[in-house]
Chains A and B, each alone.
Chain A
Amino acid sequence: QKEVEQDPGPLSVPEGAIVSLNCTYSNSAFQYFMWYRQYSRKGPELLMYTYSSGNKEDGRFTAQVDKSSKYISLFIRDSQPSDSATYLCAMRAGGSYIPTFGRGTSLIVHP
């Protein structure tokens, strides 16, 4: 079993929908949680960065961390076709600068 599990999808939604993307993890030492967006044949782009449990909002994006369940989520409101990409979760332990990535979830937002 991998340390970070992420459903590869694809997840297909209509424009304007609320999207929920999720990751689970097994390493209780993880304290820092990130979400990256990756367009085809491009490098990942950092979207959200959170520490420990709780919520963080940035525009249409909300990141949630539930450390008790070892479960993190990224919500995208009013999804747009331009949001179509692969979304990678990543996490790392305190004192480490090396993140562990999930395999990514492919999101397709159709007009």
Chain B
Amino acid sequence: DTGVSQDPRHKITKRGQNVTFRCDPISEHNRLYWYRQTLGQGPEFLTYFQNEAQLEKSRLLSDRFSAERPKGSFSTLEIQRTEQGDSAMYLCASSITGYEQYFGPGTRLTVT
């Protein structure tokens, strides 16, 4: 399968803990996006990379969130000091044109 992969698929953590998610984009896709989706809502943009450069971050993105894409390949999204409101599906998408985005299966985070 050469699609976008995300790891882990599910994460349960206690409030206050740090979590890190990984996304592997489709090979040669230079654009990578992170989104958050809560139940009954569409994906909400978090951040966008072109190659290794983080070009955009949502104003809604708390300082507790940080993302990296070293060497322009895989990306990680870290949430520090998790809160119950962080419980959501975290989606990664990649694109080569910037127009059509291909999503991964998501990481479901539950903060207890």
Contact = CB atoms under 8 A, between A and B. Distances in A.
Interface of A: 4, 6, 8, 32, 34, 36, 41-46, 49, 88, 90, 97-104
Nearest to B4: A43
Contacts of A8: 40
Interface string B87-106: 00001010100111111111
Contacts of A104: 40-42
Contacts, number: 52
The winner among B42, B95, B98, B102 for most chain A CB atoms within 10 A is: B42
Contacts of B33: 98
A36 B42 CA distance: 10
Given A46-B100, A46-B101, A49-B99, A41 B42 contact: no
Nearest to B44: A101
A10 B31 CA distance: 34
Contact of A46 (B44, B102, B104, B105): B102
Given A46-B101, A97-B31, A98-B48, A88 B42 contact: yes
Given A98-B48, A101-B43, A32 B99 contact: yes
B45 interface: yes
B103 A41 contact: no
Contacts of B95: 97
A98 B56 contact: yes
Contacts of A49: 99-100
7 contacts: A32-B99, A36-B103, A43-B93, A43-B104, A90-B42, A97-B31, A100-B45
A49 B98 CA distance: 12
Given A43-B103, A43-B105, A49-B100, A102 B31 contact: no
